[in-house]
């Protein structure tokens, strides 16, 4: 059974930083792409960032490009999301997602396993 456990969320002031972590168990972590999505209250879940199986290719939503960085440590079965220059509009529950293949897609359907989510709140 695949499990994804996120951590690192919290309350931060605008302009601050947070780093989210997601530890994966129950599958060969290094064989699959990973992604991060977020869902703000009253809105649909949206794509944030994705990384391929080796970490050499990444993709970001336009809204976070230049501020967020996705990375992975295959030895630790962990994917990270470094979030800098946070804005109030980044407030959401952030979800870690496990890809269905080694290369990432950009839709929820491209990811077959999900974490429980971690709340990120950015105050103005």
What pLDDT, on the 0 to 100 scale, is given for residue 5? 97
3-state secondary structure of 67: coil
- Cross-strand partners of 96: 36
Structure tokens at 41: 């209250």
d(CA 83, CA 119): 13
Give the residues across from 92 on adjacent strands: 120
Q: What pLDDT sits at residue 80?
A: 98
**Spatial separation of the C-alpha atoms in residues 124 and 88, rounded to whole Å:** 6
- Cβ neighbourhood burial of 83 (10 Å; 0-12, 13-18, 19+): buried
Residue 115 CA, distance from chain mean position: 10
pLDDT, position 74 = 95
CA distance 33 to 47: 14
Q: Which residues of the chain have pLDDT under 50?
A: none
């Amino acid at each position: 059974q695949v499990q994804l456990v996120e951590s690192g969320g919290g309350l931060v002031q605008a302009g601050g930083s947070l780093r989210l972590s997601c530890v994966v168990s129950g599958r060969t972590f290094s064989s699959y792409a990973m992604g991060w999505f977020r869902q703000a209250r009253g809105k649909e879940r949206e794509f944030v960032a994705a990384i391929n199986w080796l970490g050499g290719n990444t993709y970001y939503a336009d809204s976070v490009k230049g501020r967020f960085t996705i990375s992975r440590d295959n030895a630790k079965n962990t994917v990270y999301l470094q979030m800098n220059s946070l804005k109030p509009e980044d407030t959401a529950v952030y979800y870690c997602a496990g890809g269905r293949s080694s290369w990432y897609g950009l839709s929820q359907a491209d990811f077959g396993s999900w974490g429980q989510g971690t709340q990120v709140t950015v105050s103005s």
